[in-house]
Structure 1
Amino acid sequence: MLSVQRDAVRAHVWLYFWSAWVQPLVPFMADLKVHGHKRMAGNHFMPKLSVCKPSRTTMLPPVKRSVLGLVAYCLLVAADSLQKRAVAFYDPNVGGGSMLNNAGSGGGEPLNVIVSGLSSSAVLTDAGILNYARAIGFSTECLGIHLGDPQSANLGDGHGFVNQTMELRQDYGNAELGTCLESLIGGNHFRVYRQNGPMANSKALFLAVSKEEDVNKHHTIVPDGYNIGRDQLVTNALGKKTFKGVHYSTVGQNVTGLLPAGNAGVNHGIATDGITTLLTVTII
């Protein structure tokens, strides 16, 4: 729909631009006369142009038509920029993607939190989301050691399935070593995926958040762990937070219709309520 509207605006704008600017100049251009040649390097000749005094019929367009042409040009630029404006995110389902990742076991984990593409741009980089995660109680894995294969997701942006950018775990108040405790006793964690392909370049970050069991239970997801993990992360994130001198303000909005409620296709058969929380993070 947006593409059709943009093409219609472009067609009307070019019509106005032609009538106001280009068409009146056609007879004016016809009055250009070649009356001599100027020798150039390499024995080539360049026509020497002179402009005859234009008649009344070849005068430049009146002010009103000039203003109309200028307005038309501005509208054309605005129409072309419609597809480039920032958006919070694009629905992966529309582009052939899914709001469930590929967990590698026949099911997927829900992408139940989105960091909006309208957030401060510095938050949406790898270093930026890591610093923000540390401000809300998460950090890198214990001693940088990751067990298990990465999971992939298709965000409908034209890149197909892409492995997680990073995986971050609850740090229990210690950004350096706290995730080692999470690896032992369990807790909250999330995987990060970036929507930045040619079909849907929102730069939003899609998070697969869940609460997991301890190491003795092989870090499986606790009952209702997807909803619990999402809600705990959102509770920690909302409001004002700070880490290493960077101050954040976060607002949230629950979105329905992206994820179906229930357990169809969900890893471990754990049902979800179908809610995705959209976080907009601003550096203040």
Structure 2
Amino acid sequence: MSPARAFLGGCCRLSRATGRRLAPSPGPPLRAGWLRYLSACTGGPGEGDMRRYLSAHYSEARRSINEIIPSIPSNMLNPKAIFSNNEMSLENIEIYGFDYDYTLAFYSKDLHTLIFNTARDLLIHEHRYPNELKSYEYDPNFAIRGLHYDVHKALLMKIDSFHYIQLGTVYRGFEVVPDSEVIEMYQGSHVPLEQMSDFYGKSSEGNTLKQFMDIFSLPEMTLLSCVNDYFLKNNIDYEPVHLYKDVKDAIRDVHVKGLMYRAVEADIGKEGVTHYMI
């Protein structure tokens, strides 16, 4: 019997019918069996000498690698430099820049409150939503990144990487939807791939399930839930798709129209103290 077969035979039994590993049979621990296997292959020493043998060869290999690829001195690395993840030729590119949000510029949680309040006011003044929405404030503990929003059903939920809805995480406004109702609506807890949105919020069937993945999405999810909550509590009929688009446009305008950035700049000007940047 070869050393390898003897080693494997001492560690486990194989089913003759399937070739699959069965429960371990009585025998030495894996580490000891492996050391004996190496010793048998080399015809060399026992366990203690084998440790020294392997350690010596490891040290020699490590020394050789350091000679071939010398370590980079720490003083050659600029801790303030910007490193790219992908190489790209800039030969024909004259101008390039950076998206500084959460890269070059880091914001405090107060910025989410600013985005929420500004978008909420845009809904009231530009989209003619009820003034009573002013009573809603931003809750930083309500939503997390990665949640999905069903645009047609106005439901916020958590879906795992296998496209299964995590029961108990489905919210309509600020109310948890019973598991039985969720299963009835979706005919189970699995969501077909064609209904899932991509990175840009689109799917093959349109904006069915939008995933909120960036940090700026937190106030958007909260605002959606606030408006849904208000309409439900006041028995106001509404079209969920239009609501989603209005909130999406309001959040977009906070960025595109420069409302957020003007507020940040004005805040920085107050004796160098800022509530929005870290």
TM range (shorter): under 0.3
More strand by share: 1
TM-score relative to the length of structure 2: 0.25
